[in-house]
Structure 1
Amino acid sequence: MASTGCGIGSWRPKWLQLWATPKMFLLLFGLEGILQGGAYMYMVASLTTLEKRYAFNSLVSGFILIADDVSGLIFRPIMGYLANRLHRPRLIGWSMILVSLGCFFATVPYIIYGPGVHMLGTKIVNKTVEYCDNNRGVDSSCAASDSGRSVWIPVLFLWLSTALNGVGGSAFWTIGMPFIDDSVKKKNSPIYISMAACFRLLGPTIAFLLSAYVLTYYENPLIDPGITDKRDPRYVGAWWIGFALLGVLIFIFALPLFMFPKKFAKKHPDDYADSKDDNKNYVDKQVQIERDAKAKAKADAINKANAELSLGFRLMRLLKNPIFVCFVLGTTLRLFGVLGYMTFKPKYMESQYKQSASSANMLSGIIGIVPSCIGILLGGVFIKYTQPGPKVLTSVITIVELFGTIGFISALFLGCPLTPFAALPQYSSCDCFGGSGVATEGYCPTDCGHKFQTYIAMFSISNFVGTLARTGNAIISFRMVDKYDKSLASGLWGSFYSLFAFIPYPLVYGAVTNTACEVWESKCGKTGNCLVYDSDKFRNRLHGLTLTLYFLGSVFDVIIIFLSSRIKNLYDDEEEGEISDFMD
């Protein structure tokens, strides 16, 4: 009862055992998955606002984001190795406590510094500014306003917040997904995995929507900033509210996870449907009891043998598996591109289509949630009811993922170049100007609404098509390794993703984004965030890099097709503890 009952310590009431089911675990796991993924992506969605508020550039943003992956790099293999030895649901619960703590860390910069009211003092009208006076020194207000104040203090707390999310998130997914797969029949696994993937997908989407909502309020909602246009560079939204809300919700839903059993009990013979023939029903029960006892004894023996294997032996067993190696390499390249693009897409939409930060985040969420969820669920239903063989499944995955690049390809042709407006001169990259000395602030109007609508539509289609392969990829990842190695494999490829995708992608994409900048903010002799991007450079470099990485990853998918005959037992339940061989 202690290992299969629901509760804490000796408190395991009978009514609570009704909740000790894989379905209930999936529900709570999914809710926490939404919130954990939302916490990370909320940081991503808020970065443009945070750059503006604390005056740091995209490279510093990349430094903040890699904290999630540096911590994951260290803890994923540790969690994967220890998962089968410890109480997995409780480990998941503790991981969410860490994520909740990280969310509260992110609010500390606001607690220390408060709202950026100093930015509201930047005026353009009724103020003489001698831009071209070479004799003009640095404004003395710079030293006064910056004394005792360092940009690295808020950056440090944001980095710690992201690092805690990385530790908790790495344990959550490394342990949770294999636990779900182990707790259900293989023929039902596609549905459970697609549901979990759907929950995971909702996290970033809800984060963008939450960010879009809270950014419509000023950083301190209780004061009026006197700015009506949310696109004004001086406007800073209430970014901290989202972190506080997510932290509270993650903590609340983490508590029930501690009560789930170490493993779910099989259906007891007394619970089987009654038969009209009582004698036959009794015999069936006894046969089932004996069968379960034999299976358990065999499973215990094999699991004990597996547990005694050294970490080095199990790692070599994985590294000698060619399907595992190709799967990890291909997925790493695609993740590098897709996550890099997702991270900088709001910034791209702000720059290319002149959307406000809140609108860009809201639209980034909307074009992902509905088509992607439909795609994942349809992919799971397709696999459950058609049960394609390994070669067919891997071929379909490759084709679908290639068709999913249609959004990136079409975006190359959906730019908004600068065009003359009403025969008036346009100034860019300028420090001073002559003539009457009068200019109109803001972006020049563009007639680009139809291209933006097409961009949204194409990415909705791309998200739908691409996510059709999500469940299939998860099934392949769990079936290509030995059952006992699933958590270790998950931790190992998670660390590989962190080292070669999650850590470098913010830095690489941040550097590429910076190369398209035309006008940098400069305050007191220090360079801040980018104010104006070159539309063509930004569009071509962002999408070109993403497509290159995506196509390189597909090369490994093709190799997996030729190796797919080595994958056995996709949908039939093997005897517990049985070992498969993928190294021949």
Structure 2
Amino acid sequence: KEHSALSIQESFTQQTLTCSFQLFLAAMSFVYFSKAFGGAYMKSSVTQIERRFDIPSSLIGVIDGSFEIGNLLVIAFVSYFGAKLHRPRLIGAGCLIMAAGSLCTALPHFFQGQYKYETSVSHSTNANSTENILPCLIPFCLHSACEKEAGSSMWVYVFLGNMLRGIGETPIMPLGVSYLDDFSREENTAFYLACIQTVGILGPMFGFMLGSFCAKLYVDIGSVDLDTVTINYKDSRWVGAWWLGFIVTGVVMLLSGIPFWFLPKSLPKQGEEQSQNFFPSLKRLFRNSVFPVIILTALVSVNAFIGMITFKPKYMEQVYGQSSSKAILLIGIMNLPAVALGIITGGFVLKRFKLGVIGAARVALSSSLCSFCLLLTQYFLHCDNAEVAGLTISAPQLSYQPDTLLSQCNMGCTCSLKHWDPVCAYNGMTYASPCLAGCQSSTGTGKEMVFNNCTCIGEILTPGMNMSAVLGQCSRKSDCDRFFKFYMAVSVLGAFVSACGGTPGYIVLLRSIQPELKSLALGMQTLIVRTLGGIPPPIYFGALIDLTCLKWGTKRCGGRGACRLYDANAFSSGLFIGLDPCLQSQRALQAHSL
């Protein structure tokens, strides 16, 4: 009887532990999804954040890099002490911190007050009136009281929130993977990791889709009359409901951490840990000639990837005239699935042809070479600048020169040269404001407002032609849509080809390092790549992009705000100047590793 009771108890314990392990797998899959979901949404919101806080792209790069800064603050503590503590609860605490970071990021919206975009359009216009205002005769004025905005420096909350998210994410991968490896059969570990990462791949897709949805919603939705808003989501002054997505991602992160609080500290098959001195092991690791090459290869690759993905929506918006929401959506539904398919394809090729470490290195090198060629192809697939009078037309200089906006047709108007309130004339030309177009009157209200008797338009048109203009920039030429389709096709193909080398590159690392040094190798790679590959790229890419600005916005109390219009040709060149050295270095290093 006693033996039977023990058997029943052991069976019950085994079932409980099995359920705990299954719960852990499900929880890890969910947390991988949630962290990728939040990270992708942050990437998709950088343009909206830049406009809302009126800050340059270089500062946006600093904010984006704060995630890596937070990660680095605690990675040493987590790596050394994490395995000795309650790993599931540490992961649960990390999820709680990530959720707090996302909610902290959204806080400025509730403290800033309503968004005030620069405009010279009067909101008191009556729809039935034929001549309501005289844009050419009304000088541009800043806010009447010109009070110091409550949210002028609230981007710091976004910085701190993103840093908290980086701190919270730190324990997930090292402690989660080690817990999985300790308590699963050796032959099943790779399969479990593949399942977790497959679910995690869905996170960026949903993150960019959420970003696209929020970018179409006005930032102050629910608190303003949208009929009085004279801009739409295609306007460079438009700010979407960026804060809403951070609340959603924060709730998802909070929910993903709940199961970890109910998991045991250990399960059967606890592996014995080997005690090694840190510095001798580190010395042995870097004496391996392959490891430094792998580190440098990963470093330049991550530099290129982080720089591109951070500003890719802005690139598609400024160079191809796409709306921010459409650009974000296309990345989520086209580029990211291509990356996922490429990772799977790379693993399939290794298994199908049973490639060793040399074969894996050759696959990674070929992938890098092909993706570099496709990147060069993208350089030639860009549209010409948008036709904006005084900025891209009759203005060959790169930097913004205010006096080029003035001409004989608007010389008698009291126009602000710093103001950006674009109107599209019926001749297909964009003017920086109704005043600079020489418009004498207007009809209609809100987004339907039409400006009439615009003297600058009349200089170009033949007598009797339409001399009116409507709010917003003119659409790009028809051939720009064709270039954009080619660009997206090449971009998706390049993402797939580049991702094909991801798994082979990882295999090269695992098979080139002594078994007892693998954990240390992975940790050092993460530390170095996150430090040098995650923080600098958004900053220097943003600085290069700022150099291509043609028209800076103006803050309510003066001073330079966010950029409204970029030189498309210089923007494209600046982005590829940052990318080309990275990819060339990656290719050279991979060739050396062979």
- Retained in 2: the 8 A contact 1:516–1:533? yes
* Aligned-residue offset at 1:187: 5.5
Measure the CA separation in 2 of the matches of 1:181 and 1:465: 30
Query: Does 1:354 find its partner at 2:353?
Result: no
Measure the CA separation in 1 of the matches of 2:324 and 2:51: 11
| Structure 1 residues 439-470: Cα deviation after superposition (integer angstroms, max 9, x where no partner) | 64514532211111111111111122222222
- Retained in 2: the 8 A contact 1:32–1:254? yes
Q: 1:24/1:140 Cα in 2 relative to 1: closer, same or farther (>3 Å)?
A: closer
| Aligned counterparts, 1:410-421, within 5 A | 410-418=377-385
Q: Out of 489, 499, 506, which is 1:474 matched to?
A: 506
| Aligned counterparts, 1:268-287, within 5 A | none
Aligned residue in 2 for 1:572: none
Paired residue type of 1:340: G
Paired residue type of 1:207: G
| Structure 1 residues 534-553: Cα deviation after superposition (integer angstroms, max 9, x where no partner) | 11111122124213201202
Measure the CA separation in 2 of the matches of 1:179 and 1:556: 34
Identity of aligned pairs, percent?
A: 24
Paired residue type of 1:435: C
Measure the CA separation in 1 of the matches of 2:148 and 2:545: 31
| Aligned counterparts, 1:75-90, within 5 A | 75-90=74-89
Q: Out of 521, 525, 535, which is 1:493 matched to?
A: 525
Query: Does 1:96 find its partner at 2:128?
Result: no
Query: Does 1:34 find its partner at 2:8?
Result: no
Query: Does 1:446 find its partner at 2:477?
Result: yes
Report the 3-state secondary structure (helix = DSSP H, G, I; strand = E; otherwise coil) of the residue aligned with 2:117. helix
Measure the CA separation in 1 of the matches of 2:105 and 2:385: 38
* Aligned-residue offset at 1:67: 1.1
| Structure 1 residues 309-366: Cα deviation after superposition (integer angstroms, max 9, x where no partner) | 3332333232323222211111001100111011010000000111111111111112
Paired residue type of 2:217: Y
Query: Does 1:435 find its partner at 2:409?
Result: yes
Q: 1:80/1:326 Cα in 2 relative to 1: closer, same or farther (>3 Å)?
A: farther
* Aligned-residue offset at 1:207: 1.5
Q: 1:80/1:191 Cα in 2 relative to 1: closer, same or farther (>3 Å)?
A: same
Q: Out of 483, 486, 494, which is 1:462 matched to?
A: 494
| Structure 1 residues 478-523: Cα deviation after superposition (integer angstroms, max 9, x where no partner) | 4444555444433322221232121111111001111111111123
Q: 1:418/1:107 Cα in 2 relative to 1: closer, same or farther (>3 Å)?
A: closer
Aligned residue in 2 for 1:3: none
Q: Out of 333, 342, 353, which is 2:300 matched to?
A: 333
Aligned residue in 2 for 1:163: 163
Query: Does 1:526 find its partner at 2:527?
Result: no
Q: Out of 242, 246, 250, which is 2:249 matched to?
A: 246
- Retained in 2: the 8 A contact 1:72–1:495? no
Structure 1 unpaired stretches of 5+: 1-11, 267-295, 562-584
Measure the CA separation in 1 of the matches of 2:310 and 2:48: 13
Q: 1:123/1:487 Cα in 2 relative to 1: closer, same or farther (>3 Å)?
A: farther
- Retained in 2: the 8 A contact 1:190–1:471? no
Paired residue type of 2:243: W
Aligned residue in 2 for 1:259: 262
* Aligned-residue offset at 1:555: 2.1
Report the 3-state secondary structure (helix = DSSP H, G, I; strand = E; otherwise coil) of the residue aligned with 1:20. helix
Q: Out of 102, 107, 121, which is 1:123 matched to?
A: 121
Q: 1:458/1:264 Cα in 2 relative to 1: closer, same or farther (>3 Å)?
A: farther
Aligned residue in 2 for 1:539: 572
| Aligned counterparts, 1:7-406, within 5 A | 16-21=16-21, 25-116=24-115, 118-119=116-117, 122-123=120-121, 139=141, 141=143, 144-147=145-148, 149-152=150-153, 154-180=154-180, 190-222=190-222, 223-226=224-227, 227=229, 229-262=232-265, 264-265=267-268, 300=272, 303=273, 306-307=274-275, 309-384=276-351, 386-406=353-373
Measure the CA separation in 2 of the matches of 1:420 and 1:533: 12
* Aligned-residue offset at 1:100: 0.9
- Retained in 1: the 8 A contact 2:368–2:586? no
Aligned residue in 1 for 2:445: none
Q: 1:484/1:245 Cα in 2 relative to 1: closer, same or farther (>3 Å)?
A: farther
Paired residue type of 1:526: G
* Aligned-residue offset at 1:120: 7.6
- Retained in 2: the 8 A contact 1:197–1:376? no
Residue range with higher mean Cα deviation, 468-477 or 391-400: 468-477
Measure the CA separation in 1 of the matches of 2:386 and 2:161: 43
* Aligned-residue offset at 1:236: 2.0
Paired residue type of 1:356: S
Q: 1:486/1:262 Cα in 2 relative to 1: closer, same or farther (>3 Å)?
A: farther
* Aligned-residue offset at 1:131: 9.5
* Aligned-residue offset at 1:211: 0.6
Measure the CA separation in 2 of the matches of 1:513 and 1:193: 38
Aligned residue in 1 for 2:431: none
Measure the CA separation in 1 of the matches of 2:583 and 2:112: 42
Measure the CA separation in 2 of the matches of 1:187 and 1:103: 37
- Retained in 1: the 8 A contact 2:111–2:151? no
Report the 3-state secondary structure (helix = DSSP H, G, I; strand = E; otherwise coil) of the residue aligned with 1:215. helix
Structure 2 unpaired stretches of 5+: 1-11, 126-131, 411-437, 439-453, 457-468
Paired residue type of 2:143: S
Measure the CA separation in 1 of the matches of 2:80 and 2:137: 62
Residue range with higher mean Cα deviation, 463-472 or 524-533: 463-472
Residue range with higher mean Cα deviation, 493-502 or 257-266: 257-266
Report the 3-state secondary structure (helix = DSSP H, G, I; strand = E; otherwise coil) of the residue aligned with 2:408. coil
Q: How many residues align?
A: 504
* Aligned-residue offset at 1:406: 4.2
- Retained in 2: the 8 A contact 1:174–1:490? no
Q: 1:487/1:367 Cα in 2 relative to 1: closer, same or farther (>3 Å)?
A: same
Tell me the TM-score normalised to structure 1 length: 0.78
Paired residue type of 1:335: V
Measure the CA separation in 2 of the matches of 1:494 and 1:248: 27
* Aligned-residue offset at 1:386: 4.4
Measure the CA separation in 2 of the matches of 1:200 and 1:131: 57
Paired residue type of 1:123: V
